[in-house]
Amino acid sequence: MSSSVFTWTPGWVWLLAVCTFSAAQHETLSQNCSTEANQLLAALEEVVECGEDLSWSSEDLASVLLSTMKLKDLLQKQQLKDCHGAQPKECPEPKIPQNGGLVCVTAANRRFCKPLCNNGFDFAFLRRSRLYDECSERTKYKWDSQYVGGNTLAVCSEALLQISGAKTAYFPQNQTCLTTKSSSQHQSDVIRTFIKELADQSVHAESQHACLVCGEQ
């Protein structure tokens, strides 16, 4: 292992602290945090490559764990904003399923969201012919979910077989929601597939506010 890895240790803690603070204060420090993000990503990738060969003190380990836990919560909230502000604004924000995600789009002032589960998880309810849920004037600006009276659209539970949903309602075996979202191509593919499915259901208006958001993985 290169000795440079270990000289980076204070820098990693500092980068995590700066980015965590900047994310919380994004209105005034967003440019600073954007600058640090690339350095942070490179440093974290190097840490992962180290595997179990890291020779950090227990204090360093605790400091990094605390910072990464805070940063994870901030980043999770930040990526959920990708779907914020969509029309119609009367619709409440849907709850993102853990171990999966939601792909959403607005068409003809109707909001449609399609739940997806990661590999190894399946829907609690049978929804093979139910690709998506809707919120619009027609639904009195409530989600027409199988979970009546709330904003939960789906629950992804651990399962050996994925049989409750349509084939396109699951992320591929070698992908999760987050790995899909980390690739612009994969993310676009998921959105395009959903837009096509809406068109097949006679929803032909130009789609707007398309987004993919991930729950806790």
Exposed, middle or buried by CB within 10 Å (0-12, 13-18, 19+), for 202?
exposed
Residues 66, 41: Cα–Cα separation, whole Å: 17
At 141-174, the pLDDT tens digits run 999 999 988 899 999 999 999 999 999 999 999 9
pLDDT attached to residue 41? 74
Domain ranges in the chain are 100-215
pLDDT bucket at 17, cuts 50 / 70 / 90: low
Any idea which of 76-90, 95-109, 116-130, 202-216 has the lowest mean pLDDT? 76-90
Question: Angle 80-84-89 (CA atoms, 0-180°, nearest 5)?
Answer: 150
